[in-house]
């Protein structure tokens, strides 16, 4: 899914970047950002298909815990 989002974003940005910075810049930008994306992708943990997946690392969603003081996944469990 991340590759799809990356490629979609690059396609949507292409015309604007080429118009503003030129074709040569676009070619270099596309090449360098693709390499960087591959490096970042290797270091990114797979947490499923949803950005709302709460089971990452068997921990509670930090924002939910900060707001409520409770974890819906591990009630009464140690979150640290």
pTM of the shown model:
0.51
Give the pLDDT of residue 54.
53
Half-sphere exposure of 38 (CA within 13 A, CB side): 5
pLDDT value for 40: 86
Task: Provide the b/e sequence for 34-48 (b: ≥16 CB within 10 Å).
Answer: eeeeeeeeeeeeeee
pLDDT at 66: 62
- What interhelical angle do 23-43 and 2-21 show, nearest 10? 160
pLDDT in tens, 13-65: 999 999 999 999 999 999 999 899 888 888 877 666 555 555 555 555 556 55
The pLDDT assigned to 65 comes to 59
């Amino acid at each position: 899914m991340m590759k799809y989002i990356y490629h979609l974003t690059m396609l949507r940005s292409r015309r604007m970047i080429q118009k503003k910075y030129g074709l040569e810049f676009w070619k270099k930008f596309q090449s360098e950002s693709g390499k960087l994306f591959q490096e970042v992708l290797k270091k990114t943990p797979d947490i499923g298909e949803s950005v709302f997946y709460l089971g990452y690392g068997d921990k509670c969603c930090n924002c939910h815990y900060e707001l409520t003081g409770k974890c819906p996944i591990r009630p009464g469990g140690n979150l640290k």
